[in-house]
Amino acid sequence: MAAGDPQISWGTIVGAIMVVGTLTAAQWTVFQTQYSALDKRVTTLESEQTKILGQLAHDPVEQRTFEATNNATAKQIDLLQAQIQDINRQIAAALIIIDNNSMPKKNTPALPP
């Protein structure tokens, strides 16, 4: 080795490897803890969803109310679409009339009898 080169001992290398290993093990432990907590939450949400769906299946009044609301909304949308089409037809007819009235009148000579 030349003068001025940094000198690293085997002890320093082994110590650095041990620090990296310890940090990796700690991160793995944190990951496992977070994954376990997430798994518990998912299990809880799935059980709640199953319970709610079970309750809705036993309550046909709510289902009929939802369907009636959905059907009424669909009918209102259809009515609005029909009104919009009618307005569009009226606008188109008005534009045709305006266009026809804006053309200059042609003076056609009278045809001889």
pLDDT at 52: 80
Query: How many domains are there within the chain?
Result: 2
pTM of the entire predicted model: 0.39
One domain for residues 25 and 53: yes
pLDDT digits (tens, 9 = 90+) for 52-61: 877 765 667 7
Residue 109: enclosing H or E segment and its boundaries? none
CB 16 within 8 A of CB 22: no
Assigned token pair, 26:
């700690």
CB 30 within 8 A of CB 37: no
User: Which of 4-8, 30-34, 103-107 ranks highest by mean pLDDT?
Assistant: 30-34
One domain for residues 52 and 73: no
57/89 Cα distance (integer angstroms): 46
DSSP string, 10-24: HHHHHHHHHHHHHHH
Residue 65's domain spans which residues?
A: 60-101
One domain for residues 52 and 85: no
**pLDDT band at 90; cut points 50, 70, 90:** very high
pLDDT at 83: 93
pLDDT at 96: 87
